[in-house]
Amino acid sequence: MSKLIMLRHGQSLWNAANRFTGWVDVPLSERGRAEATIASCKIRDAGLTVDVCFTSMLIRAMETAIVVMTECDEIRQGKIPIVQHATDDPNWHGWNKYYSDPDKEIPIFPTPALDERYYGELQGLNKAETAEKYGKEQVHIWRRSFSEKPPGGESLEDTMHRSVPFFRDRILAHLKQGDDVLIAAHGNSLRSIIMYLDELSPDEVVKLELATGVPIVYDIDAEGQVVTKQILDS
């Protein structure tokens, strides 16, 4: 049985300021780094380990993954986490090539498929002030409906159309072969994957709330089916 650990990033500086973040690359706050450390301890105390990690391309998710993978040595079983940059990225020029020993390393794969929902014209705006301008009901629809898009942005359905295929094609393959996987990502990209795993309807998924820094653990069998689910919230 493989373990799938899903973790919404810790509080970011814009979470703390109550601003729409989306694809803006805002780092964790002090509280966010502490949440990631606490999450690492919860994962360790549950006796869980990680063989491979996936994150979004955004720094708050990557920071969370790095903290989790380095704060508690037991999680990484003495191995070194190494961020795997795309081989076709011209900015790296192949300079990060190295002798690889899979028995001593844990790969961390950043991917835009796990990025947060794009909030378009709302990005950077204060949520309370936006509700005053457009009305609470309209902002609630933009934030919590399944298919409604904010101006110039993505719906949760749009996010699902990139996150779930990546999960099925890349992440599930690791789980089926017995790897324990950590996903450090965002409220909406994780909600869309949970919708797939838990077979939630659009009406059900919009009610799903994910706290920052709280690990959700699935047992996945060799066929890729969910066996059990646990939230490490205590």
Residue 50's beta-bridge partner residues? none
Taking residue 121's Cβ as centre, other Cβ atoms within 10 Å add up to 12
Out of 35, 63, 71, 116, pick the active-site residue.
116
Q: Tens digit of pLDDT for each residue in 24-51?
A: 999 999 999 999 999 999 999 999 999 9
Mean pLDDT of the region 68-87 = 91
How many Cα atoms are found within 13 Å in the side-chain-facing hemisphere of 171? 30
CA 16 to chain centroid, in Å, comes to: 18
Tell me how far apart the alpha carbons of residues 230 and 195 are, in angstroms, rounded to a whole number.
15
Cα dihedral value 110, 112, 116, 117, nearest 10: -170
9 is catalytic: yes
Q: Tens digit of pLDDT for each residue in 157-193?
A: 999 999 999 999 999 999 999 999 999 999 999 999 9
CATH of 2-231, one of 3.90.226.10, 3.40.50.460, 3.40.50.1240, 1.10.275.10: 3.40.50.1240
Residue 58 has pLDDT above 80, yes or no: yes
Question: Residues annotated as binding site?
Answer: 8-15, 21-22, 60, 116-119, 127, 143-144, 187-188
21, 116 Cβ separation under 8 angstroms: yes
Question: Residues annotated as binding site for substrate?
Answer: 8-15, 21-22, 60, 116-119, 127, 143-144, 187-188
Residue boundaries of the structural domains of the chain:
2-231
Taking residue 37's Cβ as centre, other Cβ atoms within 10 Å add up to 18
